[in-house]
Amino acid sequence: MRVVGGPLSDLRDAVAAASGAVTGAGGPRSVSPTLERPKKVGFGDYATNAAMLLAPRAGKPPRDVAGQLAEELEQRLGAALERVEVAGPGFLNLFMSDVWLVAALGHVVAAGDAFGGGTAPSPERVNVEFVSANPTGPMTAAGGRHAAYGDSLARLLEFSGHDVTREYYINDIGGQVRRLGDSISARARGEAVPEGGYEGEYVRELAERIPGAGTDDPAVVAERGVQLLLEQICASMHAIGVDFDVWFSEASLHAGESPAVRRAFEELERRGETYRSEGALWLRTSAHGAPKDDVLERSTGEPSYLASDIAYHLDKRERGFDRLIDVWGADHHGHVARMHAAFDALGGSTGQLELIIMQFVNIIERGERAQMSKRRGDFVTLDDLIEQIGVDAVRFFMLQRSHDTTIDLDLDLAREQSSENPVYYVQYAHARIASILAKAGGSPRVLPALEEAAGFDGALQPAERTLVKKLLAFPDEIAEATEKRAPHRMAVYALELAQTFTAFYRDCQVVGAEGAGRESFRLALSATTKRTIARSLDLLGVSAPDKM
RNA sequence: GCGCCCGUAGCUCAGUGGAUAGAGCGCUCGCCUCCGGAGCGAGAGGUCGCAGGUUCAAAUCCUGCCGGGCGCGCCA
């Protein structure tokens, strides 16, 4: 991902312009040269593969094209460039001057708290629906992954400039809710729960908390049970730092004078997307890419789950969102094609609806996979997990992994390693910087240092150069994490930034550094690093304490 | 049978077209008069599941196979 504006963007423009000059008219628009930070120090500060991409078009060997590009770049970049080398099959390795790096840090300083933010090309109103676990039991540990992911994605979108609504869809009607009511009623009477009911201990507790649970209509008992569980779920979400803007009731789609589900049916009928067969109302989802048609209304007259979902998405669209993002569990992926097809049948524009599938969390305890069956009451709750390893560790752990890989969480290992969790390393670096800045004299000393830093003209140490470059990468990292819906990239970046700072701290004395302007430069470098770590952690929903 | 996700170090996982594939944990060795040792340095550890193919270049893209997870309902 590329962010427009800033030192890296200028560099990219220079490479593009040089490419255009070498290949003549047409320019490099159709090719997309990389500008990456090579792994090896000897390969320069940045490297580009432009010459290798242009070689076929230029009809010359890559290294010849690279040579021409190098000359162009030297002219265009002037003092910013120390030197440029042609390497390997045709890479161009750019060695930037200290002047360029100092100016680059000046850019980071000037950007302030907004550094890396507001880069969305066109701001949108985005609805992110996530977790949406059935209110038939407490929030499980796996729900924590959904919560951390959805919320972090929302934070990234917001920071990028979008207007985000966090939403939780409550499946508060249907068979599962009925079974919950029956289970509570049975427990209240001291009986075993019915076949297929909920056996967890929490059902007994609900039975005690609901007056008349044993005698009242199970439907009413179920409603009360759902209400109590939702309060509990809401509290668990709050505990992990997630506060939803909207709690959307599925039942509400079926209520009122003109229920949303009815209106959705009418809209689909009007569009000729439905038909009757075998006593049921069907939707032509197969005409929109789904494997087969699906039932909207059962032959019993009851609307299907899909019917609710269609009405729900229609409602979201009517609320004026430009983009709908649903985060679903892996067990729902069979529903994806169906939902896309249905949305299409409703006339939704392609790409407006994104369905993201989260893979599972396996909880390993005493070397065995815990079963995590809500129905049997056999699962680890999110509250337990938070109590055992803490909110920051839970969020960081859940967000370190890509959403489309199954993760194994070994509880015993997590407990043992909780003090060695990478999140503490990142937080420690942040606290350490806070301590350094305080020792230097706090803001009365740091604020002027931020001003002076851009005027520093001393020679930079390798660790200083590396740290500046790591900071410069931040806006691209955010854009990448946001656009790829991959908040785990932020976790990886935060860890790398902390490591880079720690190396700088080891090699470079900050407070009392000798040489004109050296201390100011390093204070500015430290202060901007602190800010960037704090921002990275904030985007993950993890705290950045000044003291630990 | 069909579809989706995954297979990378002992373990948990990054890396999805670039140069000699990385991190954390674990293991071995070294470092506590020095801005916070919750730290630092060095080291061992890899057929990137297997086999073909595309490409100047493949862990990354294509095809097939193997292994694991999930799904394929007038359940939600």
**Length A415 CA → B70 C1' (Å):** 28
Answer with the residue of higher pLDDT: A244 or A62. Answer: A244
Q: Which nucleotide is nearest to A52 (CA to C1')?
A: B56
CB-strand contact A428/B, under 7 Å? yes
CB-strand contact A29/B, under 7 Å? no
**Length A523 CA → B41 C1' (Å):** 25
Map residue A169 onto helix, strand or coil. strand
Q: Which nucleotide is nearest to A44 (CA to C1')?
A: B19
Cβ A133 vs Cβ A143: under 8 Å: yes
Q: Which residue is nearest to nucleotide B22 (CA to C1')?
A: A39
CB-strand contact A26/B, under 7 Å? no
Residues 6+ apart with CB under 8 A from A129: A150, A167, A168, A169, A248, A316, A324, A325, A326, A327
pLDDT score, position A28: 45
pLDDT score, position A350: 74
DSSP letter for A423, please.
Answer: H
Judged against a pLDDT cut of 80, whether residue A427 lies above it is answered with yes
Domains of chain A, with CATH numbers?
7-96 (3.30.1360.70), 421-540 (1.10.730.10)
Judged against a pLDDT cut of 80, whether residue A31 lies above it is answered with no
pLDDT tens profile A401-419: 999 999 888 887 777 777 7
CB-strand contact A180/B, under 7 Å? no
pLDDT score, position A526: 98
pLDDT tens profile A491-520: 999 999 999 999 999 999 999 998 999 999
Q: Which nucleotides of B are covered by protein (CB under 7 A)?
A: 3-7, 11-15, 18-26, 35-41, 56-57, 68-76
**Length A405 CA → B9 C1' (Å):** 19
Rounded to an integer, the average pLDDT of A274-287 is 94
**Length A326 CA → B64 C1' (Å):** 34
Beta bridge partners of A126: A164, A323
Q: Which residue is nearest to nucleotide B71 (CA to C1')?
A: A334
ipTM above 0.85, yes or no: yes
- Give the rounded percent of residues in chain A with a pLDDT score beyond 70: 97
HSE, side-chain direction, 13 A CA sphere, residue A290: 23
**Length A520 CA → B25 C1' (Å):** 37
**Length A302 CA → B75 C1' (Å):** 13
Least confident among A19-23, A44-48, A226-230:
A19-23
For tokens 């078009």, the residue is: A57
Cα–Cα distance, A227 to A347 (Å, whole number) = 35
Q: Which residue is nearest to nucleotide B57 (CA to C1')?
A: A89
pLDDT tens profile A147-163: 999 999 999 999 999 99
**Length A405 CA → B68 C1' (Å):** 12
Rounded to an integer, the average pLDDT of A287-310 is 93
Rounded to an integer, the average pLDDT of A135-153 is 95
Judged against a pLDDT cut of 60, whether residue A437 lies above it is answered with yes
Q: Which residue is nearest to nucleotide B18 (CA to C1')?
A: A49
Beta bridge partners of A410: A364
CB-strand contact A91/B, under 7 Å? yes
pLDDT score, position A27: 47
pLDDT score, position A476: 94
CB-strand contact A53/B, under 7 Å? yes
**Length A364 CA → B35 C1' (Å):** 42
Residues 6+ apart with CB under 8 A from A501: A429, A433, A467, A526, A529, A533
At residue A30 the predicted structure's pLDDT band, cuts being 50, 70 and 90, is low
Least confident among A289-293, A299-303, A378-382:
A378-382
**Length A28 CA → B2 C1' (Å):** 43
Residues 346-385 of A with CB under 7 A from strand B: 357, 359-360
